[in-house]
Amino acid sequence: QKEVEQNSGPLSVPEGAIASLNCTYSDRGSQSFFWYRQYSGKSPELIMFIYSNGDKEDGRFTAQLNKASQYVSLLIRDSQPSDSATYLCAVNMKGQGFSFIFGKGTRLLVKP
Amino acid sequence: NAGVTQTPKFQVLKTGQSMTLQCAQDMNHNSMYWYRQDPGMGLRLIYYSASEGTTDKGEVPNGYNVSRLNKREFSLRLESAAPSQTSVYFCASSERARQALSYEQYFGPGTRLTVT
């Protein structure tokens, strides 16, 4: 059973701090990794994806991938109250481009 | 450019009734998906269509059927609704990114379905 694990939270951080969201996956054949943000009552919105080991930065967001440890993370710098949402990690298996496994999400609360 | 649209936004059904959820995308994507999202369960893939004319089962296909009507439209049908199908249903579409290693999925606004 292929699994994607996330801490459900809530993760509470003060405004301006760095929020660190973590995700582990079970299948070593996983190839691409995605972070989605979902506000309450809304649909998931793609933040960024990563498929090479290391860091990928996009504005205040940095995705980190460590395939040896089967671990992917999302860092949010200078956290804002508007970043309060549930963050979903999704994994795409190699050779199965249409098969995405989603984690259950981590709820982030940024307090003013 | 509306992206992915879904109808209806809300629906209440009685057990045993049937209905079709509609989805359309205007991004010229080849691939389309149907997910359900339940509290504590995350997003689970029901069916997907890799390209026009093809459909395949996902993780939880039982009780559902799909039709890829054309490149733009992908519908989900519940033939005999059950309370266990109470959920939020999301349609998504994707295209292979330039790097050819990722499929960036874009989601519709969702349909909240309650089966009593």
Chain B residues in contact with A99 (beta carbon < 8 A):
45, 58
Is the pLDDT at B90 greater than 70? The verdict is yes
B63-86 mean pLDDT? 96
Taking an 8 Å cut-off on Cβ atoms, the answer to whether A44 and B50 are in contact is no
> Which residue among B43, B48, B90 sits closest to A98, beta carbon to beta carbon?
B48
Is the pLDDT at B98 greater than 60? The verdict is no
Question: What is the tens place of the pLDDT at every residue in A61-95?
Answer: 999 999 999 999 999 999 999 999 999 999 887 65
How many other CB atoms sit within 10 Å of the CB of residue B6? 21
Instruction: Tell me the pLDDT band of A31, cut-offs 50, 70 and 90.
Output: confident
Check residue B105 and give its pLDDT. 87
Chain A residues in contact with B107 (beta carbon < 8 A):
43-45
How many other CB atoms sit within 10 Å of the CB of residue B106? 18
C-alpha radius of gyration, chain B, whole number: 14
Among B74, B107, B111, B112, the residue to mutate for chain A (most A Cβ within 10 A): B107
Closest CA to B76 of B46, B31, B112: B46
d(CA B107, CA B116): 27
Higher per-residue pLDDT: B95 or A104: A104
Q: Is B111 exposed, middle or buried (0-12, 13-18, 19+ CB in 10 A)?
A: buried
Residues B27 and B83: beta-carbon distance below 8 Å: no
Which element (helix H / strand E) includes B34? Answer: strand B31-38
**What are phi and psi for residue B111, nearest 5 degrees?**
-125, 125
> Which residue among A43, A92, A105 sits closest to B107, beta carbon to beta carbon?
A43
